[in-house]
Chain A
Amino acid sequence: MHGDHSQQKNELQLPSPTAWPMVLALGIALVLTGMVTDGIVSILGGILAVAGMVGWFWQVLPHEAHEAVEVSTEEVRIVSSRTLAARLPIGPMHRKIIPVETFRIVTGIKGGIAGGIAMAVPAVIFSVLKYHSIWYAMNLLAAGGFISWAGASNAFLSEFHLRGLLAALVIHGLTSLLVGLLYGAMLPMFPKYPILTAGFMVPLLFTGILRSALGIVSPILNQRIDWFWFVISQIAFGLVCGFVVNLQAKVRTPQFQALPFSVRAGLHSDLDERKHGELTDSDDKDTPR
Chain B
Amino acid sequence: MATQTPATEVLDLTVRKAPRRHWLEVLHDWVTTVDHKKIGLMYIGYSLIFLVVAGVEALLMRIQLAVPNNHFVSPQVFNGLFTMHGTTMVFFVGMPILFGFGNYLIPLMIGARDMAFPRLNAFSFWISAFGGLLLYFSYLGGSGLYGAGSAPDVGWFAYAPLTARVFSPGHSTDYWTLALLLSGIGTIGTALNIVATTICMRCPGMKMSRLPLLVWLYLVTSGLTFVAVGPLTAAQIMLMLDRYVGSHFFDTQAGGSAVLWMHFFWIFGHPEVYILVLPAFAFANEIIPVFSRKAIFGYPAMVAASVGIGFISLSVWAHHMFTVGLGPGANTFFTLATMIISVPTGIKIFNWLATLWGGKIHFTAAMMFAIGFLFQFLIAGLTGIMLSVAPFDWQLGNSYFVVAHFHYVLVGAILFMIFSAFYYWYPKITGRMLSERLGKWHFWLFLIGFHLTFDLMHVPGLLGMPRRIYTYEADRGWMIWNMLVSSGAAIQAVATLLFVFNMVWSYFKGAVAGADPWDAWTLEWSTTSPPPSYNFAKIPSVGSRRPLWDLKHPEDPDSDYEMEQSVPRKRSEESK
Assess the A15–B336 pair: CB atoms within 8 A.
no
Contacts of A35 in B (CB 8 A): 174, 178, 244
Q: Contact residue range for chain A?
A: 35 or more
Q: State A51–B208 Cα separation when bound (angstroms).
A: 40
Q: Is B559 an interface residue (CB 8 A)?
A: no
Q: Which of B54-62, B267-275, B327-335 contacts A (4 or more CB under 8 A)?
A: B327-335
- List residues 164-199 of chain B with CB under 8 A from any CB of chain A: 171, 174-175, 178, 181-182, 185-186
Tell me, rounded to whole Å, the shortest Cβ–Cβ distance linking B246 to chain A: 15
* Nearest CB on A from B393, distance (A): 11
Measured in the bound complex, the distance between the Cα atoms of B294 and A95 in whole Å is: 13
Known: A15-B34, A15-B118, A80-B552. A85 touches B3 (CB 8 A): yes
B357 contacts the other chain (CB 8 A): yes
Q: Is the CB of A85 within 8 A of B534?
A: no
Give chain B residues whose Cβ lies under 8 Å from the Cβ of A14: 35, 113-114, 533-534
* Given contact pairs A78-B8, A147-B331, A22 touches B122 in the complex (Cβ within 8 A): yes
Q: Give bound CA distance, A36 to B553, whole Å.
A: 61
**Complex contact A73–B6 (CB within 8 A):** no
A145 touches B331 (CB 8 A): yes
With a CB–CB cut-off of 8 A, which chain A residues contact B343? 178
| Residue pair A78, B551 in contact (C-beta under 8 Å) | yes
Residues 414 to 431 of chain B near chain A (Cβ within 8 Å): none
Q: Are the C-beta atoms of A267 and B332 separated by less than 8 Å?
A: no
Q: Which residues on the A side are within 8 Å of B131 (C-beta)?
A: 29
- Give the residue name and chain of the A residue nearest to B32 (CB): A17
Query: Taking the complex as formed, is A120 at the interface, i.e. its CB lies under 8 A from any CB of chain B?
Result: no
- Give CA–CA (A217, B244) in the complex, Å: 45
**In the complex the two chains form, what is the Cα distance from A17 to B181 in whole Å?**
26
| Residues of B with C-beta under 8 A to A15 | 34, 114, 118-119
Report yes or no: A36 in contact with B7, Cβ–Cβ below 8 A: no
Partner of A71, one of B12, B122, B335, B548: B12
In B1-44, the 8 Å CB interface with A consists of: 1-15, 29, 31-35
- Is the CB–CB distance between A71 and B119 below 8 Å? no
Contacts of B32 in A (CB 8 A): 17-19, 22
Q: A19 touching B31 by the CB < 8 A rule?
A: yes
How long is the Cα–Cα vector from A36 to B6 in the complex, in angstroms?
Answer: 64
Instruction: List A residues 26-61 near B (Cβ within 8 Å).
Output: 26, 28-29, 32-33, 35-37, 56, 59-60
Instruction: Decide: A18 and B329 in contact? CB cutoff 8 A.
Output: no
Q: How far is the CB of B550 from chain A (nearest CB, A)?
A: 10
Interface assignment of A251: CB less than 8 Å from any CB of chain B: no
A217 to B122, CA, bound (A): 50
- When the two chains form their complex, are residues B9 and A72 in contact, meaning their CB atoms are under 8 A apart? no
Q: Is A69 an interface residue (CB 8 A)?
A: yes
Known: A15-B34, A268-B357. A80 touches B182 (CB 8 A): no
Minimum C-beta distance from B364 to chain A (A): 13
Chain B residue contacts of A95, Cβ below 8 A: 561
Query: Considering the chains assembled together, what is the distance between the CA atoms of A178 and B553 in angstroms?
Result: 41
Provide 20 A-B residue pairs closer than 8 Å at the C-beta atoms, listed in order of the A residue. A14-B113, A17-B29, A21-B123, A25-B123, A26-B126, A32-B134, A33-B178, A35-B178, A35-B244, A78-B516, A81-B517, A85-B1, A87-B3, A144-B332, A145-B328, A146-B328, A147-B328, A216-B392, A267-B354, A268-B358
What is the interface of chain A, defined by CB distance below 8 A to chain B? 12, 14-22, 24-26, 28-29, 32-33, 35-37, 56, 59-60, 69-85, 87, 94-95, 144-149, 163, 167, 171, 174, 178, 216-218, 262, 266-268
